[in-house]
Structure 1
Amino acid sequence: MIALGRDFSRVITVKAEKIHLAEIRDFVESIGTELGLGLERIFDLKVAVSEACANVVEHAGCGTTPLEVCADLQSGRLTFTVRDSGSFHPPSPWRDTFNNRGLGLPLMVALMDEVRFMRLPDGGTCVSLSVLLPA
C-alpha cells in the first residue's frame, strides 16, 4: 500500500476504443486499492474517469487517437488526468434528457471534488478529475 504522505504518478496509454475502457477502469481500481481507499470511493473514481474516457472515444475519433490517463498523488490530492489529441469539444450544459444523453459531465462533477476541462496546444482536450484524500 502506498503511504498517503508519499507522492506518485502512474500513466496508462491506450487507443481511444471502447474495448480499452475496462482496462482503464482496472487501472483506476488498482490505484485506489494501492492507496487503501474504500470501495465506494474507488467506484466513484472508476465511474468519473470512465465517463471522461468514453467522451474521448465518442468525440475525439474512436481508434484514431491515443487516450492517456495519468494518476497523480500530490499533497493529499489524487488527480486523474484524461488527455487526447482529437479535436477540442468544450463542455456543454445542454443534455438530451429524451435520449438520456449528456449525463456524463454532471455525473463527473457530482462524484469528484474538482473537475476541469482544458484545451491542449495540439487541439486536444484534457480533463482533470480530483479528489481530496483523508489525512
Structure 2
Amino acid sequence: MSIWWSLHLRRDAASVPLARRLLMGTMETAGVDSDVSYDLSVALSEACANAVEHGGATAPDGAPQAYRVTAYLDGERCHIEVADSGPGFTPPRRVARPVASDAEHGRGLCLIEQLADHVQFGSQPGRGGAVVSFEKILKWKKDPALMPV
C-alpha cells in the first residue's frame, strides 16, 4: 500500500497537533502498529515545532511564513519530511547527545534521531530553510483496516 500526503501549514503552534493527528489517523487506518505510530508522531511533532520556532521571519503582511510536511507510507516504510523557509542551519554530524533533564530547548533533533531508523538534516540549496527528513520501518497490527500490498 502507498499513501502520500503533503500539507502547507502556517508557522503557528496550532499547526503542530494538526499534522500529528493527520499522521496518526493515516497510520491507524493503514493498520500500522500503535507503538510505531506513536514514535513517528512524536518525531513529527518535534520537527514541526522546530519549523514553527525557527522557520523564518514573518511575511510582508505580518503573517507567519508557512512550512511543509510531506509523508509517504510506502510498502514497509514511512518517510516524513518537514521543510521551512527560514535561514536553515548547518546540519550536525551526530545529534544524539546528552541534554540536561531540565533543559527547555535542544531535545527535538535528539528525539527525532532516537525515534526514527534513518534521519537527515539539511538546508534547501539556494532557497534557505531547514529540511528534516526521517523514516522508520513499519510494523503492522494483526487485523488492519487496510491490508498492505
TM-score bracket for this pair, using the shorter chain length: 0.7 to 0.9
- Whether 1:13 aligns to 2:8 is yes
RMSD: 2.1
Q: How do 1:88-127 and structure 2 match up within 5 A?
A: 88-92=88-92, 93=95, 97=100, 99-121=103-125, 122-127=127-132
- State the match for 2:65 in structure 1: 65
CA distance in 1: counterparts of 2:34 and 2:74, whole angstroms: 21
| CA drift at 1:51 | 0.2
Distance 1:112 1:68 in 2: 19
TM-score normalised by structure 2 residue count: 0.77
Structure ranking higher on relative contact order (CA contacts 8 Å, 6+ apart): 2
> What is the CA-CA distance between 1:91 and the residue it aligns to?
4.2
Q: Which runs of 5+ in 1 are unaligned?
A: 1-5
Deviation at 1:115, TM superposition (A): 0.9
Superposed displacement of residue 35, structure 1: 1.9
> Aligned pair count?
130
Structure with the greater alpha carbon radius of gyration = 2
CA positional deviation for 1:31: 1.9
Share of identical aligned residues, percent? 30
Q: In structure 2, how many angstroms separate the alpha carbons of the residues matched to 1:133 and 1:96?
A: 28
Matches within 5 A, 1:13-92: 13-61=8-56, 64-92=64-92
Q: How far apart are the structure 1 equivalents of 2:104 and 2:66?
A: 27
Gaps of 5+ in 2: 58-62, 141-149
Runs ≥4 residues deviating over 4 A: 91-96
Q: CA deviation at 1:39?
A: 1.9
Deviation at 1:101, TM superposition (A): 2.2
Partner of 2:138: 133
Distance in 2, Cα, partners of 1:95 & 1:133: 28
- Structure 1 residue 69: Cα displacement: 0.7
Closer/same/farther in 2, CA of residues 95 and 64 from structure 1, 3 Å limit? farther
Relative to the length of structure 1, the TM-score reads 0.84
